[in-house]
Structure 1
């Protein structure tokens, strides 16, 4: 059946006729058409008869361009058969036209044949008159074919439609019986072969949720299956009748075109997919080698001069990040759609978004990286960062966490840490001890040598302070009414500074009260005769640091 039968409207058929005319006007392929030819003595065809369904329509003489009479006859027979088999193409639309000296028989834009001077001379008629006769014979042949085929076409189409409908009903019954069985099978599988999906102790998807998801997928599959069967049924039925074949072809095209394009795109993408797979394998083993190297640096089996072992883990993370970024840059051109304007636009948008939205985070990462190689402190060190004092409990590329003596965890961005002054008490303690110092003010009436002895004795009685290096006292100021004395003592346990200060202050009070020396800063002219000490002094046990 002709493809013109699939086109319902006349304007679209005109376009199709033009395409077919161009195709059929090209060098013709050999077909088993009914062509009767007479030959001259030299063997060249002199004339050929055009035969359609056993009836001789007319004869052709001579050549037309490069085509001999036999080729002309086959082309005419093919075009007549094409028109006759399409019930939408009526015989009344076959006309004779004289265009630029060529007398053509055509249907709309499709040229069925051209009447030559040789044809007219052999028939003893004019070209126009002969063309009118040939056109009428073609009309009669087409009408005869349409009349004979209409009833038969309808009956055959109806029979095939009934068979297809029966097949549709059987398939739908099978689907309606099969899917309930599948539903029950999924429900019975809960807790047996459908189990929870866990990540260690975290339940990502419980067995009940997985069962509900599978049931939902099965229901969606049922709808898709029924819809697909009905969708295939409609174009099949449409193809049984010449008046609806165009609709059937359109429905098939809507489905097959995306599938064909997708499959073609997948096949064309296979070389890029293979390249991506090779690159992934190469970078995967490169990362494993880098991990092996830095593990050796961390454990000490591999050494580099000037490279500290605590640098191994952060350096590995930086190198791994750079390798992954480089791998992404190398793989990116091989991704599907990477060269499209939409993909590039999204990439630029994400880049701008990251640039403006993560400037603070990037500053913290840079600061964390710098501090990694500066080594201002280590985990567990007692430090003072700006106004925060405590023990370092965590270091990351973004933040540093400090636990204060009050057991309060303070999170400090690394950019702020890098911009602030840092005091590391633990580093000083490891190099000879940290000096704890406290100041008392005593009046001029107390001998300074006695005051120094009392302060040093208080330091000796404080547990946790080092005897070597020995404590010492400095007179830091001679004020108007009193002298400032500063006691300095060493400790190798800076984490207990708060307790050491408390014990040292208690021992200072005990020592001065036992000696009858007043701890006061007089700002008056007259003093009382009674000393400013507790009336009944009792030695209390020294608090432990």
Structure 2
């Protein structure tokens, strides 16, 4: 047990070390704007007097032929040269000052002159007037003198160091308990996910991934809590020592301002969020009404000449897309953070992506609309296009999917290719009669054509997938040199079985003609053979 605790404490030390480095980097980031601001002030001859990380006063004007830099340097030297006796026995005093045309105030510690500020040093936006400047500067100086006094007291420093050590011990205990507890919860979730995985015997159980995701979330929360505890500890520790107390106040003020900004942002966004919900509710209601309307138009319950039943589905999708696009345009300015640089960056990124890929995409979309609104194809039609033959299974705005006759091959044809090739639709003009199929046979002139017609029609009656209404028909296509060309037309409701239907039909035709002793003239014969070239009928 002791070894386990030592391991945990060692891990905690590593965590403290890593997060300590991280937070010192963050601390430097927070203090960087102050240094940058001071550099900017120096560029315009504004010099801020800083002692023990405290900004005391800002010098902006020349006084008695001394520049702001010289005034700040002299004041800093005087304050740094104060003895412990000066700090204990003497008090801060403020006396009026008149030096030529310059009027202001002089600060003393007892009889020791520290520095002076005149009207030309005022910043009207932050200081207001001399009285406000006097009050603010006196408070800062009083605090500074107390801090310098405490900095010289060894018992005080020992006392504050003990507080920091106690805070560090408490931090270690809290982080240890927090990590152990959340790791225990994360382990339970992972075990639960593994048990679900094994129970499926190699299958997929979505709950397993839910537990894994929850475990990762718990781990992330654990690290965030650890970072928060270290941040609080660092803030507390810095505020215990006179030299670093201002830094601790800045860290505390930063987290307070952040929390306040988050909550005030949430409260301030409530009216916009309510507006967004109302707009989305209205849009959802309109889309539901449009869905009902288009469904009734497609069913024929509502006669609307603008929409054809074959294009109703596409019209509904276009109307829904336009409506939601308009809704997004309206609610975008109301989304919290929409005016931030992050949203602007995402907008630029999406704009670049759309610009780069818009040419091909728009071409396919427009081609899809042409295919849909020209009503050249419908789902379920038996078609031949671009060398492909089969039944249309999906008609999309980007591509069309055709299932081949063997039902195991699906061909995807981009709509841009589709509209640039002839489309043969064998179903559209035969909605009630079924898909038309045909086969040809060549018979010699010695066979009576009426008997040939009868045998071809009779062959269709034995195949259940061939419709009897309308009846199959036989046409004599040509009177060639050696034979007559007959073409048999049939109707079927199962075009996907075309190969099987024609195969069975050909077998039956062969049997009928063999029984009748009529020779099929394929291959071609220049001279009639002495004996018939045919097989025995079963």
Output the TM-score relative to the length of structure 2. Answer: 0.63
Query: Over aligned residue pairs, what C-alpha RMSD do you find?
Result: 5.0
Going from structure 1 to structure 2, the CA distance change for 1:212 and 1:60 (only over 3 Å counts) comes to closer
Residue 116 of structure 2: which of 107, 111, 116 is its match?
111
Deviation, structure 1 residue 268 = 6.2
Going from structure 1 to structure 2, the CA distance change for 1:413 and 1:65 (only over 3 Å counts) comes to same
Going from structure 1 to structure 2, the CA distance change for 1:378 and 1:411 (only over 3 Å counts) comes to same
Task: State the match for 1:487 in structure 2.
Answer: 487
Deviation, structure 1 residue 406 = 1.0
Task: State the match for 1:29 in structure 2.
Answer: none
Q: Map 1:336-485; keep pairs closer than 5 Å.
A: 338-339=338-339, 343-344=343-344, 346-357=346-357, 359-415=359-415, 416-432=417-433, 434-444=435-445, 446-447=446-447, 450-463=448-461, 464=464, 465=466, 471-480=472-481, 482-485=482-485
Deviation, structure 1 residue 278 = 0.6
Q: Secondary structure at the match of 2:206?
A: strand
Task: State the match for 2:234 in structure 1.
Answer: 231
Q: Secondary structure at the match of 1:365?
A: helix
1:186-243 deviation line (CA, Å, top 9, x unaligned): 2696499999999xx851654752564355235414532442244124321332xxxx
Q: Map 1:36-435; keep pairs closer than 5 Å.
A: 75-76=105-106, 79-81=107-109, 110-111=115-116, 150=149, 153-155=152-154, 157-158=156-157, 160-162=159-161, 164-165=163-164, 167-169=166-168, 171-172=170-171, 174-176=173-175, 178-179=177-178, 182-183=181-182, 186=185, 190=189, 203=206, 206=209, 209-210=212-213, 212-213=215-216, 216-217=219-220, 219-221=222-224, 223-239=226-242, 245=243, 247-253=244-250, 256-257=253-254, 260=257, 263-264=260-261, 267=264, 271=268, 274-299=271-296, 303-306=302-305, 307-308=307-308, 311-335=311-335, 338-339=338-339, 343-344=343-344, 346-357=346-357, 359-415=359-415, 416-432=417-433, 434-435=435-436
Task: State the match for 1:508 in structure 2.
Answer: 509
The question of whether the paired residues in 1 share the 8 Å contact of 2:311 and 2:375 is answered with no
Q: Secondary structure at the match of 1:412?
A: strand
Q: Highest Rg: 1 or 2?
A: 1
Going from structure 1 to structure 2, the CA distance change for 1:533 and 1:255 (only over 3 Å counts) comes to same
Measure, in 2, the Cα distance between the counterparts of 1:391 and 1:56: 97
The question of whether the paired residues in 2 share the 8 Å contact of 1:382 and 1:426 is answered with yes
Q: Secondary structure at the match of 2:510?
A: helix
The question of whether the paired residues in 1 share the 8 Å contact of 2:283 and 2:324 is answered with no
Q: Secondary structure at the match of 1:15?
A: strand
Output the TM-score relative to the length of structure 1. Answer: 0.62
Going from structure 1 to structure 2, the CA distance change for 1:221 and 1:262 (only over 3 Å counts) comes to closer
Which ranges in structure 1 are unaligned for 5 or more consecutive residues?
1-5, 26-51, 85-90, 95-106, 115-141, 240-244, 541-545
Going from structure 1 to structure 2, the CA distance change for 1:351 and 1:262 (only over 3 Å counts) comes to farther
Measure, in 2, the Cα distance between the counterparts of 1:337 and 1:61: 51
Going from structure 1 to structure 2, the CA distance change for 1:210 and 1:513 (only over 3 Å counts) comes to closer
Q: Secondary structure at the match of 1:461?
A: helix
